[in-house]
Amino acid sequence: MKASKQLKKTIEKLVESSFLDGRMLESKVVKAVKVLKTLSKTESILALSEYLIGLKRIERQHTMYLETAIPFSAAQIKKAKKIIEKKVKITKVKMNINPDVLGGFKLKVGDEVWDETILSKINQIKERIVHHE
């Protein structure tokens, strides 16, 4: 079952109203869920699923994922966040330590990825060598 255009618009408005300055507001989410639960059972399930997908999409746009071989200091994280916030408000930072990257960092916000890892550079060189033989 697909959501009607009207239901999609309602869900979109509920998703947008659930955030303020990139931060999810619990009270708004609770209200939105109550509204969506008043629909018929099948519509409600579909609407709640679409609403959750929308919430996750917006949250990803305001979350900075940082992957490094060794932990960044608070100052390094703050500096990276400050640079990214020239484009988008960051409300959450998730750090992942991955020794396989060897060094450097990989940063992701929404659909944008900055891969400055040594592993990435090695793979780029390897790719050039393979394609230029």
Q: Please, what's the b/e burial string for 12-37 (b: 16 or more CB within 10 A of its CB; e: otherwise)?
A: eebbeebbeebebeeebbeebbeebe
Q: Kindly report whether the global pTM for this prediction surpasses the value 0.75.
A: no
Residue 133, CB-side half-sphere exposure with 13 Å CA sphere: 5
Residues 92 and 115 in one domain: yes
Residues 77 and 104 in one domain: yes
| Residue-level pLDDT at 22 | 84
Q: What is the pLDDT of residues 8-52, one digit of tens each?
A: 999 999 999 999 988 899 999 999 999 999 999 999 999 999 999
Which of these three, 23, 39, 60, is where a domain ends? Answer: 60
Give the gyration radius of the chain's Cα atoms: 20
Residues 66 and 127 in one domain: yes
Band the pLDDT of 132: cuts 50, 70, 90.
confident
Residue 18 belongs to what domain range? 5-60
Which of these three, 60, 80, 101, is where a domain ends? Answer: 60
